[in-house]
Amino acid sequence: MRVGVGRYVRGGMTPVSAKHPFQSLKRVLPWILPYWPVMLFGLVCMLITTYLGQQPPRIIQHIIDDVLAPGGGVYQGVRAVLLLGGVYLGGMLFNMLRTYWLHVAGQQVIHTLRVRLYGHFQQLPLTYYDNRQTGDLMSRMTGDVEQIESMMVHGLDVLVMGLLGMGLAWYYIHVYAPLISWLVLIPVPILLIAIYFFSGTVRKIYRIVRDRVGDLHAKLQDNISGIRVIKAFSREADELDRVTADSEQVRAMSVRGVRMWSTFGPLMGLIGHVGTLTALIVGIHLVASGEIKAGAVMAIFLYTGNFYQPIGQLFQFFDSIQRSLAAGERILEVLDTIPEIQDPEAPATLAAVTGRVELREVSFSYASGERVLHEISVMAEPGQRIALVGRSGAGKTSFINLIPRFYDPLEGAVLVDGVDVRALRQAELRRHIALVLQETFLFNGTVAENLRYGRLDAGDEELAAAARIANAHEFIETLPDGYATEIGERGVKLSGGQRQRLAIARAVLADPRILILDEATSSVDSESELLIHQALERLMAGRTTFIIAHRLSTIRGADVILVLENGRIVERGPHRDLIKTRG
């Protein structure tokens, strides 16, 4: 049974909530089942550990009633003590095996779930990320996933060992004194009803806590990424106040949950103690009346404690379950979100791509619903350069985002070599497209690793050749370790012009038929701009290129200039024609 399917609607991703919270646990089972042999072995060790843990009271009863009684001997005493020691040792060994193998299985489940979650993140369209914070998504992949493992390992421990331990303890009490065995059951319904009502309340609290933790992680991620801006504007104190406020919300809700847990737990323990004392009083009476011996009373006393103790542990199990349900709901919200942009079941193929791109009567809007493109029709022939100009917000970036199918048009179609991009596999389409953007993104790694992002199997000579085309080889050679130099997060150790030239070299290695340049020279100095222009001229040769730029030097050589205003093409033509018409 599914928790619900996240249906995509214009306006955002809307996950359908679970009708029953435990459905999320059912959804986790398919990830656990592949590791059932390990889980089964851990379960067997758990059963043996629990059984051995219930034997000491019987041995102690034997020592008191038989060994210490008249007629008992040293031999019997030594044998009983050795047996008790063997039970303790066996319990320790099987407990070690149980702990190890259950955690091994738990880590396997975490790995499976984390990879599954990340894989689904990659399938979701950009619209999903437009409305979500990176830190919150990271929190779901780390803290929420680990909470599932905690429930699976520790929760299973408590549930199985607790129920079996209670059953064995009650059985042994019944063997010694049936009357007492029925008396100890009286508080159980009270405890179970209390746990039921408690769990429904605390689950809501833990869900809020998980959401607040996600918000806090998002804020921390933003601040760490923007630390230079914070320092530049001397906003350290302000940001500390904001983080403090977010952390205070996490603390307050967590304390509310802890308050409930710390109050409810001891109350449950008190009820258990009352039951234990009642059993002891009745046991003393039975000894006085000669129905049982003193050793049996001691065993009953110990077994009564063993009977009520798992109830407290079961309470902790329900606490763990509630935390896991809250985490599971957040994970399943992601996994149940169906990507709007999906590959077709029977995709078309592009045999020999020439690079012809057509936008046919295309209209487009984002999740807000306001149209940003209106009935755009453009034909770019192979090898042509198409420049897009216009004020900020005119629709230029939206235009180019439709070509690699980062978004789908609301109306109309985008075609590459006459094939609607929606009929192609996304990977097949994007293999023929490369982007060089204003904000160049480089990964934390070496120069060579970032260049090979264009083509993973590129050799060292190919890297150097691409870098020469991009006017990057010379500065790379001056770096401390050349192509093996670590460039830091987002390429922070390089200048803006150097980062841009690496992005161009990366695009050269990809060898696309269609090239998209989005303000590729707007954030560099004049010297770097000249080198980048030279590199771009080499890169654009023979490729269909779409250029967004404000500088006349960048767009003058375009075959066609499209002037956009409020999502419409108001002028088009080569530079010389637009000048003649005073466009």
> What angle in degrees, to the nearest 10, is found between the helix axes of 74-123 and 294-335?
10
Residue (of 154, 176, 157) closest to 165 by Cα position: 157
Residue 196 pLDDT more than 80? Answer: no
Residue 435 pLDDT more than 50? Answer: yes
Token couple for 55: 């034997």
Contact between 476 and 447 (Cβ < 8 Å): yes
Give tens-digit pLDDT for 135-194: 778 778 777 777 777 776 667 777 788 888 889 999 999 999 999 889 888 888 877 777
Higher local confidence (pLDDT), 39 or 288: 288
pLDDT score recorded for residue 416: 93
Contact between 496 and 523 (Cβ < 8 Å): yes
Token couple for 91: 């319990």
Higher local confidence (pLDDT), 50 or 26: 50
Please tell me the least confidently modeled range out of 194-198, 241-245, 363-367, 483-487: 194-198
Residue 216 pLDDT more than 60? Answer: yes
Average pLDDT over residues 376-402: 90
Expressed in angstroms, the distance from the first to the final Cα of the chain is 61
Average pLDDT over residues 62-88: 84
**Coil, helix or strand at residue 522:** coil
pLDDT score recorded for residue 72: 67
Give tens-digit pLDDT for 292-334: 888 888 998 889 888 887 776 676 676 677 777 777 777 888 8
Residue 11 pLDDT more than 50? Answer: no
pLDDT score recorded for residue 319: 66
Residue type, 150: S
pLDDT score recorded for residue 90: 93
Contact between 478 and 445 (Cβ < 8 Å): no
Measured distance CA(468)–CA(502) in Å, rounded: 10
Higher local confidence (pLDDT), 501 or 151: 501
pLDDT score recorded for residue 333: 80
Average per-residue pLDDT in the chain?
81
Please tell me the least confidently modeled range out of 234-243, 264-273, 447-456: 264-273
- Out of 62-71, 134-143, 460-469, the most confident range is 460-469
Residue (of 499, 498, 506, 491) closest to 444 by Cα position: 491
pLDDT score recorded for residue 1: 28
H/E segment holding residue 560: strand 560-565
Can you give 331-386 as a three-state secondary structure string?
Answer: HHHHHCECCCCCCCCCCECCCCCCCCEEEEEEEEECCCCCEEEEEEEEEECCCCEE
Q: What percent of the chain shows pLDDT beyond 90?
A: 14
Res. 384 pLDDT band, cuts 50 70 90: very high
* Residue 185 DSSP class: T
Dihedral, CA of residue 341, residue 347, residue 349 and residue 350, to nearest 10: -20
Res. 205 pLDDT band, cuts 50 70 90: confident
Residue 390 pLDDT more than 60? Answer: yes
Average pLDDT over residues 227-236: 68
Average pLDDT over residues 5-23: 41
**Is pTM beyond 0.75 here?**
no
Higher local confidence (pLDDT), 230 or 316: 230
Q: What phi-psi label fits residue 43: left (phi over 0), alpha (psi between -120 and 50 degrees) or beta?
A: alpha
Res. 8 pLDDT band, cuts 50 70 90: very low
Residue 45 pLDDT more than 70? Answer: yes
pLDDT score recorded for residue 229: 65
Give tens-digit pLDDT for 251-292: 888 888 778 777 777 777 777 788 888 888 888 888 888 888
Average pLDDT over residues 241-254: 86
pLDDT score recorded for residue 214: 75
Higher local confidence (pLDDT), 249 or 228: 249
Residue 5 pLDDT more than 70? Answer: no
Provide the CB-side half-sphere exposure for 72 (13 A, CA). 15
Average pLDDT over residues 557-567: 89
Contact between 94 and 45 (Cβ < 8 Å): yes
Higher local confidence (pLDDT), 414 or 145: 414
Res. 374 pLDDT band, cuts 50 70 90: very high
Higher local confidence (pLDDT), 69 or 185: 185
Residue 10 pLDDT more than 70? Answer: no
Give tens-digit pLDDT for 514-538: 988 887 665 555 556 778 778 878 8
